[in-house]
Homo-oligomer: A and B are copies of this chain.
C-alpha cells in the first residue's frame, strides 16, 4: 500500500529480481495500481498534497516500469471524498476506483439494489446540469471526464472469511493429500462456491472480485499462492464457478465489456460508520498538531519548489526531494489522519522536520534570528516571500526583545508598525515547548510581538529592515492595553477598519459582528464545550478513540468566575485576550486592513484527572435560519452541501446525532440564510458540523483514554515531556470568521483560503555582518539566480543584495480566480506547472467564469519553447489519457449530462491557458536554454 516501502525494497534488489518484477509488470501479471507514494487519506488531506504525492509516485512508476497506473485503489481510507473520485480518479486517468469502507446502512441498501458498483460523478461543477447538453445520447453511455467507475467491496477489503493463508492464520488450508486426517478438498470447494454465489447475488454481471489478503499479509507470499493455486484448480474442476488470478484492470475491462448499465452516485462517502455507534469522525481532528505541521510543510513545499526553480535545481545541493518524500508519505490514511501509534506519529514529524528551514516555533514566539539585540545599532533584515501568484499585503509578526524599534521597507522608508506585549500565557508555553523540543530553555525572552503590514509582489519577495532606535522614543507604536474592572457593565468594540466586533464586558463575551462597508450586522456568540469520550463500557462497547468519535455527554466550558478579558489596540491590529479556563486561552484579532476576525486558540493540556477523555469543540452561534443546512469542503477544493441527519443516498437511521453529522474540513465550513452567509476557514484539517441551526462547530482538540479497537491499539493521549515530566499536549491554532451578504462569501473563502494555505515565508539576517551566517536566510535568498539581482539600494545589506523580486513579468499577476498549484523544476530541467481555477460553477457571480493565464508572463526570466498538457499526475499526455478513457452506460432513462466547460488547447504562438470553473490543468514546460 505504501510505495515508499516498495521503493525502499526495490532499491535493495538485484538486477535479476528487478528484471523479473519488470517482466511481471510488463505482462500484466503484477499490476501497479493507485501508484501514489501512499494510499492517502481522503478526509484530512488537502487536494494539493494528494496531487503532489500521487505525482511523485506515478513519476517513479513511469521511470522504472514505463507504466501509468489505471486503477484507483483506496481500499482502507475511512470514508471517500468527491475530490478523490473526480480529481484524483478521473483526472488522473484512472479507469476505476475501488474501496472497502462505506457506511453500513449505505452498504446494506447497495447490496439489496446491487449498487455496490456504480458510476461516481464527484464534481458538482463538471456534472452540473446547469450547462447541460445531450452527450452520447441515446446510447445512455457517458463519461464526461469527471466520473469514474467505482466499486465498494461487499465486506471490508480482505479475503472472504476463512480464506486467509498467512502462516499463522486459522483458515483451513486446502488439504488434498488423501492420506491425511484433514483432507478437505470438497469442503473447501463447497465453501468457496457458496461464498462466490452469495457475492454474485449482490453484484451486477457474472464477475466478482475477491481481494485475497489484508493488512500484514504476504510476508511469505508462497503460503498464499500455494492455497490459491489449489483453490483455483479444484474449484474449476468442480465447475460451478470459474476462478482465476486476475487484477483490478482485468476486472475493470471485463466489467466494461459486459455493457451492463450502472447507477450513478454523486457527492461523497462521508461520514463513515462501520456500525451503529461507530462513526469514524474523530480522526477528522485527531492529532491536531501533526495535522497543522503537515499543512505548514505542504505550503512550504509549494514555495520551496518555486525558489528551487528560480535558482536552478541541483542534485549536488540539498533539494526539495527529501521534503517531497516526507510530505508524500504523511498523506497516508494512518498518518495525517492522526490514527497512527504515537511512535509512528513521531517518525512522521521527524521526517517532515528535515529540510524545513523557517523558524518552526514562530507561532509560540520563539525565533532566535528575530530576537537579536538591536540596541547596539544592528539591524534585522527580513525577506518576506509570497508564493501566491497575486500581489499581496499581509501582516508580519515577529518577536522582538526591545520596544525601541522601527521598521523600514526596501526603499528605506519607515512604515507603520505596532508592538504588542508578550502575555504571560504565551511566555509559559514558549518556555515549556522550547525546552521540550530543543532540550534547553531559550536564552532570550522577547518582550513584544512586532507587527507590520508587508507588501510583496507575486511569486516574489520584499525586504524589510527592523532597526533599534537609539533614543527612548520608539517609532513603533506600543499597543494600548485595557482590562475592564470587575462588575463593570457595557460593551467593548474592537476593530480599526471596516470590521467591528462588540463584546459584553460583564460576561466577557462576543455579542455582535458589524461590517461598516457591507452593512452586515449580526448577533453572534462564540463558546467552547467538550464531549466526554465514551470509555467503551456501554452495553454496545465502543470507546471514542483515534478513529471514532463517540461522545457520551456534552458539557459547556464556562469560565471559572469572571472571564479575564484584556484589550490591546493599535494602528495595525486590535486584540481581545480571554483566559477562558486555565487550559483554554483565546486571542481574537481584527486587523485594520482586513474584514475577518482571526481567532487564535490555545487549548491544553486537556485535564483528564477525572478519568474522562475530552473532545474540545468551539461553537459560533448566530440567529441565522439555516434549515439544517451547511457546506463543507472536499479536500479543500469543492464545497458540498450537508443536511443534518440526512443522506442523499439512503434514509438515514440516526443513532449518533453529533458524531453522525460531523464532516471533515480542510478549507472551511459555511452556512447561509436568506440574507447572509457565515464562513469559518481553518488552518488545518478539523472535524466540524452544524449541530443546531444557526451554529457552526469545530472540534479543535481531543484527548482520550481508551483505544477504539480499530487497530491503533493505543489511546489517543498525546503528551509532551520536559525532563520526563509529561503533560497533555497543548494545541495552538487559528480559525477565521467572516460574515458576508448572501452570495458574496466565496470571494473571501477562495482568495483568503489561498493566503491561509500559503502564508508569507520569512527569512532573517542581520545587517552588520558581511558573511551571511544565519542559515535561515540563505535558504531563501541564495536560492535565487545571481543574474537576476536588481537595483541594489543604498543601505547596508540591501546595497549588496537584492531587496525585492518577482518571478513574474513586471506588474503581471494571475487572475483572481486562478492559483498556481505547482511550479517545479524536474530532474530533466523541464518544469512542471499546474494552474487551478478556484471557483465552482455558479459560486461567484464575477469569478465563476473562464479565466486566462498568459504563460510566458509567469516566467519573466526564461523563454518558453514548448508546452505539453498532461494528465493531473503528469505521467501521460492529456490527449492520450482522454483517448483511452472508457465510456460506461448509465441505468435508467436517457438523461442529460453536463459537458464541462474547459479551456481549449494552447496556441503555441500565444501560450494562453484558459481554465473553466474548477479546472486544473497540468503542463510540462520546456524552456530555451
Contact = CB atoms under 8 A, between A and B. Distances in A.
Contacts of A12: 177
Contact of A177 (B8, B220, B347): B8
Nearest to A322: B179
Copies of this chain: 2
Nearest to A351: B181
A4 to B, nearest CB: 11
A485 interface: no
A219 B167 contact: yes
A343 interface: no
Interface string A144-182: 000000000000000000000001000000000100110
Interface string A201-243: 0000000000000000001101000000000000000000000
Interface in A478-504: none
Contacts of A347: 181
Contacts of A350: 181
B220 A11 contact: no
Interface string A71-104: 0000000000000000000000000000000000
Contacts of A177: 8, 11-12
A835 to B, nearest CB: 34
Nearest to A350: B181
- Summarize A's interface: helix, strand, loop or mixed: loop
A12 to B, nearest CB: 7
Contacts of A181: 347, 350
Interface in A342-383: 347, 350
A219, A222, A350 — most chain B CB neighbours (10 Å): A219
Contacts of A180: 8
Nearest to A221: B220
A181 B180 CA distance: 49
A479 B327 CA distance: 94
Interface in A498-516: none
A12 B174 CA distance: 13
Nearest to A12: B177
Interface string A106-149: 00000000000000000000000000000000000000000000
A220 B167 CA distance: 9
A350 B11 CA distance: 51
A212 B330 CA distance: 37
A180 B222 CA distance: 29
A222 B221 CA distance: 12
Interface string A13-34: 0000000000000000000000
Contacts of A220: 167, 219-220, 222
Contacts of A219: 167, 220
Contacts of A11: 177
Nearest to A226: B12
A350 B180 CA distance: 12
A272 to B, nearest CB: 30
A447 to B, nearest CB: 39
A7 to B, nearest CB: 11
A347 B219 CA distance: 30
Chain A to chain B: the 3 pairs with minimum beta-carbon distance, closest first: A220-B220, A167-B219, A219-B220
6 contacts: A8-B177, A11-B177, A12-B177, A181-B350, A219-B220, A220-B220
Interface of A: 8, 11-12, 167, 177, 180-181, 219-220, 222, 347, 350
Given A8-B180, A181-B347, 9 more contacts: A8-B177, A11-B177, A12-B177, A167-B219, A167-B220, A181-B350, A219-B220, A220-B220, A220-B222
